[in-house]
Chains A and B, each alone.
Chain A
Amino acid sequence: MKITDACIYPYPYGDSSVRRMALEARSLGFDRLVAAGISSGNFYGIDVLNGVLLRDITLKDLVNHVRDIRDKNAVVSVQAGDSGFNRAVTSVKGISIIRGIQSADRTAFDHVTARMAADNRVAVDIDLSPLISARGIIRQRAIHRYRDILVLERRFEFPITLSSHARSVLEMRAVREISGLCSLLGMDSPDVEKAFAGVDTITTPPDPAVRVL
């Protein structure tokens, strides 16, 4: 199991180079990062995967974009939309993560989408930045939404990923701190470990239904 931060934004999106973020991630206890706009590689012993985030896009364009992505190691994620969009996204081949569920509509991720996400191994991302940097109603709303998502996760067992959405090394948090913040959402230690390994679940191909002996 590799402890993974499922989304960071290195330079030019943020103020820290990917090498510096990898160096910081190593000291904070991570094994792997998913970085936006960076070719996959290994920096200071930390695996960095190419993260592709698609947002504000129609379903037709989304399918075309996913087809055009040449990097086979890329982790493709989509910004959550309304209920219909999210249902459709979970059945598009090549999509790994649905992000921004905390800012989507309350009914955007229901039990039907949850079942489809579990069947198609599409993860739902828990963005910890509202818990870290937001205050008041924004933080409260995010906690409420994440708790709601986790109820569905326990029922349907779709993958969960944890991400800091850090644009700077100053926004990155240690594994222990992230575990503590997840405990605010009602996650216990095994849940957090499973969520840290969520990227493993979506990047490894599923076991074949029929095995030839």
Chain B
Amino acid sequence: MTVRPPTLREKRRYVLVSAEPSGTIIERKDLYYAVCDAITSLWGDVTAALIMPAVIVSENGYIIIRCRRGTERELSLALATITSYRENPIALRIVAASGTINTLRERIQRLQTPDTEPVGPQEYIVGEKVFHVTYCSGQKVDLIEKGFKNTNRLFLTREDLEEL
């Protein structure tokens, strides 16, 4: 099928989303299935077909999702209902929407801040379990339980660490 001229193509919008918790590795294909599942569950197959979602870019915790122009609201509401990814809890926070991918790439570069080193030790004992620092940015500090399986995360702040 030949490519249509720009005036005949469908207008699309791109939504920039950040994935939490930090450090979550997002596979485009798996996220696409999660997004499609959320859209179909909330809006049904007909609206899902109208939205035509696609995961375009996934890098450094930021994701660009494509949809048809005018369906951004439906997509953003469906994204708010995604609570797990590969059986791990996740939150997708909408950062911006744009008509071009380039604008959102520039936005990603502006948003990326280097992790700051935590003050104090790297390991903490919370409720008889050993946790180590996995992420630290500004006031936010994430701890993850030591171990191989079923490791829990704790979401704290620097003030909380000082009180431990």
Contact = CB atoms under 8 A, between A and B. Distances in A.
Q: State whether these chains interact.
A: yes
Interface in B48-90: 73, 76-77, 80-81, 83, 89-90
A174 interface: yes
A131 B42 CA distance: 9
A177 B15 CA distance: 14
Interface string B117-132: 0000000000100000
Closest 8 CB pairs of A and B: A16-B155, A177-B80, A170-B91, A19-B157, A180-B77, A17-B160, A20-B155, A133-B83
B103 interface: no
Contact of A16 (B73, B80, B156): B156
B89 A170 contact: yes
Which label, helix, strand, loop or mixed, suits the secondary structure of the B interface? Answer: mixed
Contacts of B157: 17, 19-20, 23
A167 to B, nearest CB: 10
Interface size class of B (residues with CB under 8 A): 20 to 34
A181 interface: yes
B81 A19 contact: no
Interface in A167-199: 168-174, 176-177, 180-181, 184
A181 B81 CA distance: 9
15 contacts: A11-B154, A15-B153, A15-B155, A20-B140, A20-B155, A23-B140, A23-B157, A135-B41, A168-B155, A169-B20, A170-B83, A174-B80, A180-B77, A180-B80, A181-B80
Nearest to A21: B155
B63 to A, nearest CB: 16
A44 interface: yes
Contacts, number: 71
A59 interface: no
B155 A131 contact: no
Nearest to B89: A170
Interface of B: 20-21, 41, 73, 76-77, 80-81, 83, 89-91, 93-94, 127, 139-140, 152-157, 159-160
B41 to A, nearest CB: 5
Given A19-B156, A19-B157, A133-B81, A177 B91 contact: no
A19 B152 contact: no
Contacts of B93: 174
A180 B81 contact: no
Contacts of B140: 20, 23
Nearest to B91: A170
A132 interface: yes
B83 A19 contact: no
A136 interface: yes
Contacts of B154: 11, 15-17
A192 B76 CA distance: 18
A206 to B, nearest CB: 35
Contact of A181 (B77, B152, B156): B77
Contacts of A133: 81, 83
A23 B91 contact: no
